A and B are shown apart, each in its own frame.
Chain A
Amino acid sequence: MNKVPQSELQPGIQPALAAYNLTKIYHSGEVEVQALRGVNFELYPKELVVLLGASGSGKSTLLNILGGLDLPTSGQILYNQQDLSKASEYELTRFRREHVGFVFQFYNLIPSLTAYENVALVTEISPHPIAPEAALELVKLGDRMHHFPAQLSGGEQQRVAIARAIAKQPDILLCDEPTGALDKQTGILVLEAIENINQQLGTTTAIITHNTVVASMADRVVNISDGQIAGIRNNAVRVMAKELEW
């Protein structure tokens, strides 16, 4: 912790989730890819953070590690004083089950389950979920509950994925390019849904995007480049998602 540059962190506030000196090296065949090169990052309660960066800069890698989907090569991830980088497989599973909601670029709905069931899949194993219907209402899909993914548009599928992510009432919502596969209008609908969750439920939220416009809806914007944090800026005002223009 001693080497952490203060500029990247906000002293005095207890972070909801924090990562220090994270590195991640992928070995694929004989090639080594250094995806993260010493990242320090704190996520504060109830904030909405946008992670910006070019493709291949290491955003997904960082998010996956923060969400307990993957382990870093070195470094620490702290959640409630617990170091997730040393957590057992079981502890990581509990962490994901109870505290984290994921939204992916390609929605990743289970094709054989309806919208409702995709959400129920998660609420069934969560300790204090909201009802799947309520979650789908939150993303304005109450009327499409019993449709299968193949019967939904991309934007609708992504909103189901958001409902699925927030139905467990996670402490942290992690979204990896949630609009990446969507057109502008649909993208904004999805961002609105995320914004709603963040504001209404106070869920700490991190959104990955390479779309700079999206950054203006955040409390903080973190720039990632070549596996490192290149800069952090605080937005004085958050632009409403529906007012975003690109």
Chain B
Amino acid sequence: MKVLNKKLIRDLWKLRGQVLAVALVIGSGVATLVMSLSTIEALEDTTEAYYQRYRFGEIFAFATRAPLRLTNQIAQINGVQTVQTRISSYANIDIQGFDQPAIAQLMSIPEKGQPLLNQLVLRKGGWVSPGRDDQVILNEPFAEAHQLDIGDTVSVIMNGHKKHFYVVGIALSPEFIYAIGPGALMPDDSLFGVMWMSYEVLAAAYDLQESFNYLSLTLTRNTLPADVLNQVDVLLEPYGGVSAIKREDQISNWFVKNEIEQQKSMATILPAIFITVAVFLTNMVLSRLIATERTEIGLLKAFGYGNFQIAWHYIKMMLVIGIIGVTIGSVIGAYFGRLNTEMYAELFRFPLLIYRPSPYAFIIGGLVSIIAAILGALTAVRSAVKLPPAEAMIPPSPGIYKRTFLSSLGLARLLDQPTRIALRQISRRPLRSFLTSAGIAMATGLIIMTLQWDDSLSHLKRVYFFDSQRQHITVGVVDPLPLRAIYDFEKLPGVLTAEPIYAVNADFSFGSKTHRGGITGMQPDSTLQVIYDDGRKQSIEVPDSGIVIASRLARKLNIKIGDVMGVDVLEGRRPELLIPVVGIFDSYIGLPTYMNLDTLNRALNESPSFKYANLLIDPLYQDELYAAFKNMPKVSTVMLKQSALDSFDEHLVEHLMVFISMFTGLAVVLVFGVTYNSTRVALSERGRELATLRVLGFTKGEISYVLLGEVMFLILLGLPLGCLFGGILVWSMAQSFDTEMYRIPLVIEASTYGYAIVWVVIAAILSAALVRRRVNKLDLIRVLKTRE
């Protein structure tokens, strides 16, 4: 082996602590990228495989009652491959020992076996038996939430009649990956379930013999859904069809895809920030490392080693470090990626999981980091190589220390010698000191950014669930009720206040832009639900006429106050309206719009009526109230704020928290890498000086202070900078995290800064302790004898 390579290996071994620290910095950048990219890949592959294997429909359409013979006509539409017609309905269900009002979406299945489309993944038990009208297959999350097993019974209130069913099977479906109740924000497995029962049972119960009300179909290759949608609409129109939707708008799929989208923005933004910071830190650390090699570079030159040979030597060093880093990062990233994917798989209950990260993620992560490390090393190597050899060998020049303003203030007299040495070291190398502080600041910023997610979500939760909605329960009714019926709700046991809400789905348009959304109608004196402006942090008035819309919707449609918006209502008589926009407000979740209840009713040409009632209740009477609901056939859904809150916590917060912990962990590793290297390099640069001080009679503690004090001051400087940088990162995250589903509020709690600082300090103390051990082992004779 070449002697230079031996030197390389021994040097790497001697510097193993630093090598590892730099490798960890590089690795944490790579890990974030690999984790995110592989998670996305796995999620996309898995959903795709799931959809294909269980023949998830590509178009869905509701009707009130369409004859089965229409199926053939629909199948004739150009581009349609397979048509599945079925009956679907929401129903209240009664489960022994469960007081809260749960509802289920009933879905018809053929008695003889799997439907053509949207097939079930039978997890337990079997299929419904032909001829039996009392058998049901439950979706797994619901069954688990209620500990229902094969043979147990559930009661379903169908069309006003209570019927008992035996559970014969437990299943999953690609249609209900995200099983979300009507009007709910998050899935709640105990309050909303899916029940598959034979077509005959549902047809009999809902008087839909020879008919269907829910259609699903798949398309032939290369068919655009839009072409088919219209024709389906036309065919269903006479039978109370509500416009058909394509797979992208199917609710479960929409949520799943949104989740993947969210991962994607994370996969670009977070790793980009991480890698940028890691690259910067790598450069900083490497250039300091190479700076300590000045003498050796000079020596090699004196022997006649050429610039290229020397540069290549150090590049090899960086390559080794880079490869170690990329390897660590890939392993951690793949592990976290798998963990993250499994968590999603569990959340979504994928019956299969495809985690086969393509080399792509690793190659990108590896190349980016290694190239960055080498580029960083190059600048340092170049400046070292550029030195004339004689100069490179000049003994580490007794640096030019100047009297700074600090000493001229007379402040210096208050400081002891070690403190002075530490401070002078900083002022002598202002740029390098600044870079170290900047490195610490960046790492601190990263920690703040990851920890801050919790702040944002808590804020989001508070605004959404408390500031804008004060009701405890929202009750949905089967058909709109006349306005005076609200008093019936007020009279229910425990109800303190009841307020009517009307909601309708509609297509909004302005110019060439469109959006499918909904309008909520509220009474102007509503107190339970208000139009809360997240920007102004207060509620705004319900307008007498016109519509107020979310600012992100306004942006999407490019519409402003005073413009008239096209509103194509998707229900009832399906009027096409023109409504002036009279207000715009900020909202974090969704793209809501509000109108005055009366105005909305009139616009729809309906008598004053409501579809939902918001209730404020006395918790003491909760059980009685729930019992009352079960006997009210008019009530179709009951949404409890508390359980929505719980499921928000469970689904979003918990999952995100794991994700955040991963990132925070990596950020802490970054901090450790930076502080350890800064101290370690300082030690090798100043070993002689420190040994001299020891010889002069300074204690180990004192010289550790000289060394670590410098880093300590730099950290003190870096922390406030880091808080600032964290703020900037959070701001830019909030800017880029603006999906249709929600926007991330820009909130950073003081405690987040506190935690970030604590983490940095812990990492710093840990690295200081490691270096301190080396200081203790400083071999005085050897340091003074050899000139490294």
Q: Which residues of A line the B interface, CB within 8 A?
A: 29, 64, 67, 69-71, 89-90, 93-98, 100, 102, 104, 106-113, 117, 120-122, 124-126, 149-150, 154, 164, 168
Contact = CB atoms under 8 A, between A and B. Distances in A.
A108 B295 contact: yes
Given A120-B3, A121-B4, A124-B3, A64 B390 contact: yes
Interface in B700-717: none
B302 A69 contact: yes
B3 A69 contact: no
B785 A97 contact: no
Nearest to B782: A150
A122 B304 CA distance: 8
Task: Report, nearest first, the 4 A-B pairs whose CB atoms are least far apart.
Answer: A97-B304, A112-B10, A96-B304, A70-B390
A30 B341 CA distance: 63
A98 B301 CA distance: 12
Contacts of A69: 301-302, 388-390, 393
Contacts of A108: 295, 299, 393, 787
Contacts of A104: 393
B307 interface: yes
Nearest to A120: B3
Contacts of A109: 786
B689 interface: no
Contacts of A64: 390
A104 B14 CA distance: 25
B400 interface: yes
A113 B7 contact: yes
11 contacts: A96-B389, A100-B304, A111-B786, A111-B788, A112-B14, A113-B3, A117-B6, A121-B3, A124-B3, A150-B786, A154-B785
Given A97-B304, A112-B10, 14 more contacts: A69-B301, A69-B302, A69-B389, A69-B390, A90-B306, A93-B301, A94-B304, A96-B302, A97-B303, A108-B299, A112-B7, A117-B7, A121-B7, A121-B300
Contact of B11 (A112, A124, A150, A164): A112
Contacts, number: 85
Give the residue among A94, A97, A124, A125 with the most B Cβ atoms within 10 A: A125
Interface residues of B, number: 32
A86 to B, nearest CB: 15
Contacts of B249: none
Interface string B287-303: 00000000110011111
A100 B305 CA distance: 12
A118 B787 CA distance: 15
B2 interface: yes
Given A112-B11, A113-B6, A121-B3, A70 B303 contact: no
Contacts of B301: 69, 93, 96
Contacts of A122: 303-304
B571 interface: no
Contact of B307 (A29, A93, A97, A164): A93
B391 interface: yes
Contact of B786 (A94, A120, A125, A149): A149
Contacts of A67: 302
A178 to B, nearest CB: 14
Give the residue among B7, B295, B782, B786 with the most A Cβ atoms within 10 A: B786
Nearest to B386: A89
Give the residue among A102, A111, A124 with the most B Cβ atoms within 10 A: A111
Given A108-B295, A149-B786, A150-B782, A93 B306 contact: yes
Contacts of A120: 3
Contacts of A71: 388
Contacts of B304: 93-98, 100, 122, 125-126, 168
B303 A121 contact: yes
Contacts of B782: 150
A70 B300 CA distance: 14
Interface in B370-414: 388-391, 393, 395, 400
A154 B786 CA distance: 9
Interface string B167-180: 00000000000000
Contacts of B309: 125
Nearest to B2: A124
Contacts of B788: 111
A132 to B, nearest CB: 9
A239 B11 CA distance: 43
Contact of A89 (B296, B303, B307, B786): B307
B63 to A, nearest CB: 81
A110 B296 CA distance: 7
Contacts of B389: 69-70, 96
Contacts of A90: 306
A164 B299 CA distance: 12
Given A70-B389, A89-B307, A110 B302 contact: no
Nearest to B13: A112
Given A93-B307, A96-B304, A70 B400 contact: no
A70 B391 CA distance: 8
Contacts of A100: 304
A134 to B, nearest CB: 16
B788 to A, nearest CB: 6
A154 to B, nearest CB: 7
A113 B785 CA distance: 16
A67 B393 CA distance: 14
A125 B305 contact: yes
Interface in B214-239: none
B778 to A, nearest CB: 14
B687 to A, nearest CB: 12
B2 to A, nearest CB: 6
Interface in B473-489: none
B609 to A, nearest CB: 87
A2 B388 CA distance: 31
Nearest to A109: B786
Contacts of B296: 110
Interface in B1-24: 2-4, 6-7, 10-11, 14
A200 to B, nearest CB: 22
A102 B392 CA distance: 15
Interface in B739-788: 782, 785-788
Interface string B69-88: 00000000000000000000
A102 B785 CA distance: 20
A69 B296 CA distance: 14
A198 to B, nearest CB: 20
Contacts of B299: 108, 110
A95 to B, nearest CB: 8
Contacts of B785: 150, 154
